[in-house]
Every structure is written in C-alpha cells, then in structure tokens.
C-alpha cells in the first residue's frame, strides 16, 4: 500500500503529520508494519484503502460508521462524498445558517508563516490546503481518522488548532479542550466555534450550547483570550428554528420524520440567510445569535 498518496497536497500533508501520530490508547509512538500501525504496547491500527490512518479502536469505528448511516445522517453522509457539491450547493445555498464572518482561517493572522494547523472534526471540508483534517469518519479529504476524546497526536505538535461547530457533539467538552491544549504548542492558537441559539442536531449526537461567557470560561485557565464574537447571527438563528419548528409541527412531532421535514423547509427558507449580516451588526446581537466563536492563545511555560 502506498502510505503517502502522490497528489501534491495530500502527500505533503501525510508526510508532514506522520512523525507526530501516536497510539490513541497509550499515546505511544507508532511503527509502520506493512499496512498497519503498531505501538510498543502492541495496539494495532489499520488504514483505509487510500492510506489514511484509522487511529481509533475497532468498536468505535463501527459505532461511528453505524451512526453516520442512520436516519437523516445517512443522507448527509451520502452527500458528503461529494464535498464541493455539499458545501457549496447544499450547505452554502440551502442551510439557513450563514457562516459568513470570522471564519477559522482567521487564526492564521496570529501564527507564523507556514504553520502546522489541525482541523479537528473537519468532515470532508478542506478549509485550507495545508491544514491537517481529523475526523471520526473517513470522509473524502480526511487525513487522520480519530476521536476528539483521545486525539492521536503527540503533545505540543501544532501551531494552531481549529474546530468548527464540533464541540457540541462531544459529551465531555472540557476533556476535548484539554486534548486540544495537549496537542498545541505553548504560544499556539486555538479557534473554536459553537452553536448558541440552535435546535438539536445530532451528527451523530448533540450535547451542549455555548454563550460567549461559556466559551471564555472553557479556555480561561490555560489561554489568553484574543477574540470572542459572532460566527453566525440572529437572523440565521431565527430561520433555523423556523425550519425545525415547521418540521416538527407538520410531522406531529415524529422523531424520525421531523428532521427530514425540517431539511425540506430549508430548501425554501435557507436562501433568505443572506439577510443575516443586517442583524449581526446590531448591539447585543451575540445574545441571540446562532453560532459564536473564540480565538485563544495557549500560555507559554514560565521559565
């Protein structure tokens, strides 16, 4: 098996991240033995047909695969096989949430040239050609398959870490922040966006909502807060709730059918999200916004 694909960007990312991969069970170094990766404690991990490391326990790989192929997630997972179509047409046009301002790439202004940056919970989206994509599911474009609870990366590896509306899907959000803190260098920068006013959306599950105060509280111990604010504004929050409200009403609250109905209403209401910027700039807009964000710099070790 070709461990490093020939595509220029893919091969460069694979070679760049390989020295920093560790066992997600014991965090020990990994050795390449044929098509597998083995640590000193004999934990063994495979690769996808494309050569992407599968650094999760087998039962978790099966569990997440089953979750991605159930209910409305089956439709999403199918569409995500075609990332450009999904993000530019399905998500870009019809999702009622306008992710327009303060994108994850904003953290680059706080970093040196050619930084090593991880996108945790990336899905198939490639935010930046040089970013390392990590996700629990082997979507196209994912460089490492792993979980945010036990990120299979050495301590102090990355100059920056981003995660876009991922933290709400992780049951222990503080453990997730702790893992990000572990893998980012002292002085490194973390970008996190998270929903505030937003309906339940299980992909595969949904646990939390965050105010700006909650985000600052999560990062205040080990970080200097650089920015906090709105990723998606009040109008997006209103449209998203309207879609889910109509979906719930028209299906009489059927838990299985309501999400599908909500997505049908998104086809009609989603394009109206273009008006979100008119509301984002209003005073106190963060108190009723759909998605918020924070950028924070990890404190350097004291001499």
pLDDT tens-digit readout, 146-161: 999 899 999 999 999 9
Quick one: how far is CA 152 from the chain centroid? Answer: 16
In the prediction, which pLDDT does 117 show? 98
- Averaged confidence pLDDT in the chain: 91
Q: Among 56-70, 82-96, 151-165, 256-270, which is the least confidently predicted range?
A: 56-70
pLDDT class for 179, splitting at 50, 70, 90?
very high
DSSP letters spanning 246-259: HHHHHTTT-TTTHH
Residue written as tokens 């082997």? 138
Residue 2 has pLDDT above 60, yes or no: no
CB 236 within 8 A of CB 272: no
Using alpha carbons, select from 85, 105, 123 the residue that is nearest to residue 162.
105
Contacts of 113 (CB under 8 A, 6+ apart): none
How many whole angstroms separate alpha carbon 161 and alpha carbon 146? 15
Contacts with 285 (C-beta within 8 Å, 6 or more apart), sequence order: 230, 233, 234, 279
pLDDT tens column, 187-242 = 999 999 999 999 998 777 899 999 999 999 999 999 999 999 999 999 999 999 99
Tokens 């301002």: give the residue: 101
Query: What values do phi and psi take at 15, rounded to 5?
Result: -70, -35
The answer to whether 110 touches 297, Cβ cutoff 8 Å, is yes
Q: What DSSP state is assigned to residue 7?
A: S
225, 292 contact by CB (below 8 A): no
pLDDT digits (tens, 9 = 90+) for 73-119: 777 777 788 888 888 888 889 999 999 999 999 999 999 989 999 99
265, pLDDT greater than 50:
yes
Q: How many helices (H) and strands (E) does the chain have?
A: 9, 10
Cα dist from 283 to 87, 141, 145, 232, whole Å: 30, 39, 41, 15
d(CA 289, CA 102): 14
- Stretch 7-15: mean pLDDT: 75
**Residue 141: exposed, middle, or buried by beta-carbon count in 10 A (0-12, 13-18, 19+)?**
middle
* pLDDT (average), residues 16-28: 96
Q: Which of residues 262 and 72 earns the better pLDDT score? A: 262
Q: How far apart are CA 129 and CA 275, in angstroms?
A: 30
For the record, the structure tokens of 62 come out as 């099966």
The label of the residue with tokens 């998606």 reads 232
| pLDDT above 90 (res 63) | no
Rounded Cα distance, 256 and 41, in Å: 43
User: What average pLDDT does range 68-73 have in this prediction?
Assistant: 67
């Amino acid at each position: 098996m070709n461990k490093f694909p020939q595509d220029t960007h893919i091969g460069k990312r694979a070679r760049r991240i390989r020295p920093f991969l560790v066992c997600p069970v014991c965090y020990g170094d990994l050795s390449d033995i044929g098509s597998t990766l083995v640590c000193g404690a004999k934990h063994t991990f495979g690769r996808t047909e494309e050569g992407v490391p599968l650094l999760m326990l087998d039962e978790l790989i099966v569990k997440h695969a089953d979750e991605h192929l159930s209910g409305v997630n089956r439709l999403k997972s199918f569409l995500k096989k075609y990332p450009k179509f999904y993000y530019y047409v399905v998500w870009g046009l019809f999702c009622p949430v306008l992710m327009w301002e303060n994108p994850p790439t904003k953290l680059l202004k706080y970093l040196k040239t050619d930084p090593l940056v991880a996108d945790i919970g990336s899905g198939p989206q490639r935010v930046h050609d040089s970013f390392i994509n990590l996700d629990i599911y082997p979507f196209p474009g994912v460089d490492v398959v792993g979980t945010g609870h036990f990120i299979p990366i050495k301590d102090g590896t990355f100059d920056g870490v981003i995660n876009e509306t991922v933290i709400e899907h992780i049951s222990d959000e503080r453990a997730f922040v702790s893992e990000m803190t572990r893998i980012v260098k002292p002085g490194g920068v973390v970008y996190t966006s998270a929903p505030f006013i937003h309906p339940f959306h299980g992909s595969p599950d949904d646990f939390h909502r965050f105010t700006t105060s909650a985000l600052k509280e999560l990062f205040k111990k080990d970080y200097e807060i650089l920015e906090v604010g709105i990723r998606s504004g009040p109008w997006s929050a209103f449209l998203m709730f309207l879609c889910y409200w109509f979906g719930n009403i028209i299906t009489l609250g059927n838990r299985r059918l309501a999400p599908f109905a909500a997505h049908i209403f998104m086809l009609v209401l989603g394009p109206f999200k273009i008006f979100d910027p008119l509301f984002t700039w209003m005073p106190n807009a963060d108190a009723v916004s759909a998605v918020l964000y924070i950028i924070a710099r990890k404190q350097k070790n004291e001499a």
